Amino acid sequence: KLPELTFQLEKMFRDILSADPNEKGIMKAWMGPIPVILLLKARQLKVLLESNTNITKAPPYDKISEWIGRGLLTRWTYCLISYYSIEEAGTRYNNLSTNEKWQSHRKIITPTFHVNILKEFKGVFITQGRVLADQLDHVADTGREVDIFPFLKRCTLDIISGWRSNCKTAMGTPLNAQTGGHVEYCDAVSELTNLVSEHFRKPWNWLKPLWYANGNGFKFDGLIKLCQDFTLKIIQERRRTLIEDGLLEGSAVPRKSVFIDMLLLQQASNNLSDEVIREEVDTFMFAGHDTTASAIGFTIWFLGQYPEWQKRVLEEIDAVFGGDVMRDPTEADLRQLVYLERCIKESLRLMPPVPIIGRTLTEDLEIEGVTLPKGLLVMVMPLLTHRDPEHFEHSLDYYPDHFLPEKEAARHPYAFIPFSAGPRNCIGQKFALSEEKTLLSWFFRRFSVESVEPYPGNRPIPEIVLKPSIGFPVRLFKRH
């Protein structure tokens, strides 16, 4: 079973990381018929992730691309899980597209995550955080266990998809998932992520006849159509709104345009089809909600089993908000929550939402005297690198003081990469951290928490997004 397997893998890699820090830390493994190189040390990750040429993503992103296309997350991924040789697969990657196209799309989208735009998003975080707290209020003080993971996923999906008070996010339309809206779409997104992980984890699914014979292929195709049709409908609605507002007629892009509007406003000048816009919007729908829900959930789950750390969070929350559980958090409030931020980072260290980062080399790469040839699949595993005792004194424990300012300054910059690093780092990392801090400020003003299944139980399952094996079962207690 997968949870048991994680114990074996953790021990094996812990032994490797605990060895002499001057050891190579470069491992060879096999993913089915495919040879894979694993890089474990921060100094090695730096060489790969800082490359401006080796930026081609690798499986399992290929299956996701059937849903979200070749957006920023998956562009230039080509399926290596085939009968092709490594050399031939690499050639097919290179023929698929060019790095210049990815860089062009990144340049268009980057302004939508500018710090001034992020300030506009705060209204969404605040409104949806309040709804989340109200939803959880019904299960607090009942004495029974509740899995908060579904609550968190619905909340983060509402944040990435909708707007409040004229504050738009990726999709540009509210799903109201927390209050029962668009249930079919929300369920489809959740089921699709499960099927992608199922496909990657079981090699017999890589054979298309078997994938369809067990029914997963037909289910997967139906869910894809549902989600893509929904997104295309939203694009058409947003276009009509922009036309009615007279914005598509002008040549200048408004300074505060965000995501879907930015793409539509630049559609003609950058030759973007509706399908390309759909790919980018669906990319952020997928990448922007599951990862954040995982990060918030693991933070709550850790604090629910370490009363001493939770007490410090609650004391800081009370000092900032003065016991007021209803007023909206301000930017000044959030800046003062420095200990909460350390707790979030420590959760991201031990349980990074993206546990594995893959690259397919488009040119030879030399690392510490070892030449990795073009076409090779190379994996970086933040889930393991983050536990390297060379960089973290309590490497296997939840210890928020790992992120005291002086310790962060002294640490290798690639020892902690929850949002990847280099030219293909996560474009929405500031968005995610601000969202997590806002939602957790609501949560801990209203509740204290007790985790039902403490670490090392409730195993983290390294799928595309790191998920708990049994959800986040906790008991909630009202604070005021």
Q: Residue positions in the annotated binding site for heme? A: 426
Q: Exposed (0-12), middle (13-18) or buried (19+): which is 323, by Cβ within 10 Å?
A: exposed
Q: What is the DSSP letter of 29?
A: E
Question: Which pair of structure tokens corresponds to residue 46?
Answer: 């730096």
Based on DSSP, count helices (H) and strands (E) in the chain, helices before strands.
19, 11
Mark the binding-site residues, compressed into ranges. 426
| Selection from 42, 44, 85, 30 nearest residue 370 by Cα | 44
Angle at 348 between CA 315 and CA 141, to 5 degrees: 45
**Cβ neighbour number for residue 129 with a 10 Å cutoff:** 22
DSSP state of 330: P
Residues 6+ apart with CB under 8 A from 200: 59, 60, 63, 463, 464
DSSP one-letter code for 329 = P
311 by DSSP, 3-state: which? helix
Alpha helices by DSSP H, 110-215: 115-137, 149-161, 183-201, 208-213
According to DSSP, the β-strands at 460-462 and 466-468 are antiparallel
Cβ 132 vs Cβ 300: under 8 Å? no
**61 and 379 in contact (C-beta within 8 Å)?**
no
Contact assessment for residue 188 and residue 223, using Cβ atoms and an 8 Å cutoff: yes
